[in-house]
Amino acid sequence: MDRIAITGGARLNGSIPVSGAKNSAIKLMAASLLTDEPLRLTNMPRLADTRFLGKLLARLGVEVTERDGADGQETVLHAAEITSGFAPYDLVRQMRASFNVLGPLVARSGQAKVSLPGGCTIGARPVDLHLQALEALGAKIDLHEGYVYAQAPRGLKGAEIVFPMVSVGATEHAMLAAVLADGTTVIRNAACEPELADLQECLNAMGARVEGAGTPTITINGVSRLAGATHAVIPDRIEMGTYAVAAAMAGGEVRLTNARPGLIDALLRKLEEAGAGVEETADGCIIRRGDERLNAVDIETAPFPGFATDLQAQFMALMTTAKGESRIRETIFENRFMHAPELMRLGADISVSGGEARVRGVERLEGAEVMATDLRASVSLVIAGLVARGETTVSRIYHLDRGFERLEEKLGACGAQVRRIKGDGEPEL
């Protein structure tokens, strides 16, 4: 397994381009199942997760082509014919979001057999809301031996879907299924994350009639078929936030480009409160910090536009050397403080009780060997390593490769001393 080694102490100065959003790209890739014409996605990240989903889509009959185009990295997906409606466990288990092929398969082909995605290290994320949405649209759902059998031989029908709790994945899944349903679908208590608006824009470019994404109520007027389209993936707000925190942690001045600061406003305001400088630019923002030590500030995760749970681990790393005590409340996922013990190996003073962590800032972190437990936890350890005295080695970085493209290259271009230590091979996720 590969590892990443960081020698702490270097300030960051330079520019970092933000890649396309992983959480949006993988749902846009699933949308290719809805049409027999090519879907061209530009500003595409090259990640383990997009690679795994591409492998699954190819198994279902999609021709997947990655290339460098006039607009940078792009992926063209062409599902001229669905050759299989079967998504096996050995592929679905590698990435939970691949479960979202179920709705498009049923919408276009009338049936599908897709594995349940299995467990998740950051807490239970059941798919019952996904299945309830499909049932509301008229699909017959059977669960047997870990697989979902879904059938709608006469097509899906528009319906009112009321989610009892906000779920990004279930909202996206309902949208993907409802665009080809007969009649009007109204999704209530929908998630409002910007990735939903990105999906709406892509689907509408393909000929769908979707409105309201980004608000709690989404209305979809079903159409009989969708066409191909070209769509640029939204910039990755989590990657942007991560590098903003890294710049505040290490000090210096970093310009983030190809980014939309408004998507991480909650984080940027907290960085300013802690003492970092934030300047918005035409295509992103600049993060500055001098020699002064940051101040401890409290955060509480919340659905968009609140403080993103996917930035909580990174902000905890930032607070480990801040002046005073900060309280971090996690309200989205249970078990999402697994990075705390690893940060403590670097000398952080953290205590966790239920959904709250108290971080008492220390003068200095010390390099050590640490282990990534999930995607966001892995990069929090890299951020801490930027200021830890000596060398920090992060293992199990296959987690990190799922969501961060060319991380060592991007940080290294700004002066960080970060290198990848090649192992004997990568494990399956």
310 is in an annotated binding site: yes
Q: How far apart are CA 355 and CA 373, in angstroms?
A: 18
Residue 332 known to bind ligand: yes
Give the other-Cβ count within 10 Å of 86's Cβ.
Answer: 15
User: Is 128 labelled a binding residue?
Assistant: yes
Identify whether 285 is a catalytic site residue: no
Is residue 375 a known part of a binding site? no
Distance from C-alpha of 388 to C-alpha of 10, rounded to nearest angstrom = 10
Whether 38 and 76 have beta carbons less than 8 Å apart is answered as: yes
- Residue 22 is labelled as binding a ligand: yes
The answer to whether 96 is a known ligand-binding residue is: yes
Q: Tell me the C-alpha distance between 17 and 363, whole Å.
A: 31
126 is in an annotated binding site: yes
The active-site residue out of 120, 192, 202, 414 is: 120
Residues in the chain: 429
Q: E-strand spans in 80-183?
A: 86-87, 111-115, 140-144, 147-151, 160-162
Q: What is d(CA 347, CA 407) in angstroms, rounded to the nearest whole number?
A: 24
> Running DSSP on this structure, what letter comes out for residue 11?
P
CA distance 174 to 166: 13
E-strand stretches of 63-222: 63-69, 72-78, 86-87, 111-115, 140-144, 147-151, 160-162, 184-188, 209-211, 217-221
Q: How far apart are CA 201 and CA 5, in angstroms?
A: 40
In whole angstroms, what is the distance from residue 268 CA to residue 282 CA? 16
Does the annotation flag 216 for ligand binding?
no
Q: Which residues are catalytic?
A: 120
Residues of the binding site: 22-23, 96, 125-129, 310, 332
Residues of the binding site for UDP-N-acetyl-alpha-D-glucosamine: 96, 125-129, 310, 332
Residues of the binding site for phosphoenolpyruvate: 22-23
